[in-house]
Chain A
Amino acid sequence: DVKVTQSSRYLVKRTGEKVFLECVQDMDHENMFWYRQDPGLGLRLIYFSYDVKMKEKGDIPEGYSVSREKKERFSLILESASTNQTSMYLCASSTAGTSGRYEQYFGPGTRLTVT
């Protein structure tokens, strides 16, 4: 079974703090993704990475950065947390699609509250 883990289930941070969210997958997947999920807005892609040290902006990258130094690990960084970044953050991974398979496997999520 694919296993995607996230470093924290719940996190409370103060406005202006630097926040690190970590994600690790154990299936040797090439691609990794960070989403945020908000009521009424669905899943929105923040950043994704298709290889080590490679990253691509998603639909809402402002206020976020990412790091992928190892294939299995993808970090999301909030440089200066703001209250509008209070959300559920979901990490996902997928294969490179060479087999024609594109489904993504999600972690349990981190519910971040910025006060």
Chain B
Amino acid sequence: QKEVEQDPGPLSVPEGAIVSLNCTYSNSAFQYFMWYRQYSRKGPELLMYTYSSGNKEDGRFTAQVDKSSKYISLFIRDSQPSDSATYLCATKSFMDSSYKLIFGSGTRLLVRP
């Protein structure tokens, strides 16, 4: 079992829809969570990071962590065609003294005009 799981998609939605992207993780020691957006043939771009349970909002993006369920979500409101990309979640264990992150394999999102 992978430590972080993401549905690869593609997830196809119409413009303006609310998008929910999700990751599940297996290790309760994971406590630092990140979301990255990666356009085709480009490097991943950090969107948001959060330490704790609950929500963190930044513009149209909201990151949510449910530690009891080991589930993290990224919500995108009023989705735009420019949001079409692959979204990667990442996490770090406080038990790991290195600086390595554990990445999900990504969910591809298509926003149709």
Q: Which residues of A contact B (CB under 8 A)?
A: 4, 31, 40-43, 45, 48, 50, 56, 58, 88, 90, 94, 96-97, 100-109, 111
Contact = CB atoms under 8 A, between A and B. Distances in A.
Contact of B99 (A4, A31, A40, A107): A31
Contacts of A97: 99
Contacts, number: 54
Nearest to A106: B43
B80 interface: no
B101 A102 contact: yes
Contacts of B100: 45, 48, 58
Contacts of B105: 40-42
Contacts of B106: 42
Given A42-B103, A48-B100, A102 B43 contact: no
What secondary structure prevails in chain B residues at the interface with A? loop
A109 B99 contact: no
Interface in B51-99: 51, 88, 90, 92, 98-99
B104 A103 contact: no
B99 A102 contact: yes
Contacts of B46: 103-106
Nearest to B42: A108
